[in-house]
A and B are shown apart, each in its own frame.
Chain A
Amino acid sequence: MSISRYSRARVRPSGSRREVFYWYLMRITGLMLFVLALAHFSILHFIWDPAEQTAEFVINERWNRLFWRGFDWLLLMMVLFHGFIGMRTVVLDYIRPPRWRTLLLWLLYGLAVVLFVIGTQVIVTLPLSGAE
């Protein structure tokens, strides 16, 4: 494994099963996001323009099909796992004092739960006005 250490972002951990799980999770969610996030950004910047996007647009145009709500919800799930496990790595790399580490990780996971709840809530509860 010595040659690969040079350019891998992070060598696949061995030992802790949790770390191995996170290592795979980052790569699987990363691949999904390569498609989902780039498609989402392209649709909302190249097909539509931010100047056309109002709350009414989201209700009547963007989210009037279950498919696009499902698409954006899947994107949200992938972003939450990828973004928060990624930020966990950042915290573990830079924050050494155990108490600060624990505190920051709890704040981070708390924020993830809040984003999961409000993101899911708006996708599920917004009326499907022009549903097809």
Chain B
Amino acid sequence: MTRVPTLLRYRGREGMLAWAFHRISGIGIFAFVVLHVVDIYLVGGNPELYDEVLDFYASVPGRLLEVVLGAALLYHALNGLRIIIIDLWPRMTVYHRALWWGSWVIFILLGVPGALIILRPVWLPLLQGLGLG
């Protein structure tokens, strides 16, 4: 058998996308956790450097990255719950597509307001600039 990367070899459609997104978001969250444990260590080790890191987190590029992080976290959490539901009640497999689309509905309902709150310092000045704020 010719060797094809595992990511491209899977079964396709919703089940494959759910799995691929789960893996990509998981690796992304892992990378942030490594950074985050190191940055929180600085509170004790080097508080000035910690404050500088947090200045970046509070900046516009930092906030955009936090929205990406939050999206990865929320997707991974919801899809993980979907996996556990199917593991516990295998008959739910029949509805796995409905569960997948349902998880996206919850993702949008929670994620959009969350992103708007995190990005407040981006859009609030824009509104005020237009005389709407």
Contact = CB atoms under 8 A, between A and B. Distances in A.
B30 A83 contact: yes
Contacts of A55: 42-43, 47-48, 50-51
Which applies to chain B's interface (DSSP): helix, strand, loop or mixed? helix
A66 to B, nearest CB: 16
Interface in A33-55: 33-34, 37-38, 41-42, 45-46, 49-51, 53-55
Interface string A54-74: 111011000000000000000
Contact of A45 (B15, B47, B66): B66
B45 to A, nearest CB: 8
Given A38-B73, A45-B118, A118-B38, A9 B43 contact: no
A53 B87 contact: no
B26 A59 contact: no
B87 A83 contact: no
B125 to A, nearest CB: 14
Contacts of A126: 43-44
Contacts of A50: 54, 57-58, 62-63, 66
Interface in B93-133: 93-94, 96, 114, 117-118, 120-121
A64 B83 CA distance: 37
Interface residues of B, number: 52
Interface string B7-31: 0000100010011001100110110
Task: Please give me the 10 A-B residue pairs with the lowest Cβ-Cβ distance, nearest first.
Answer: A55-B47, A7-B96, A51-B58, A50-B58, A50-B57, A118-B41, A115-B37, A55-B50, A122-B44, A7-B15
Interface of B: 5-6, 11, 15, 18-19, 22-23, 26-27, 29-30, 33-34, 37-38, 40-45, 47-48, 50-51, 54, 57-58, 62-63, 66, 69-70, 73-74, 77, 80-81, 83-84, 86-87, 90, 93-94, 96, 114, 117-118, 120-121
Interface of A: 1, 3-4, 6-9, 12, 27, 30-31, 33-34, 37-38, 41-42, 45-46, 49-51, 53-56, 58-59, 76, 79, 83, 86-87, 90, 93-94, 111, 115, 118-119, 121-122, 125-126
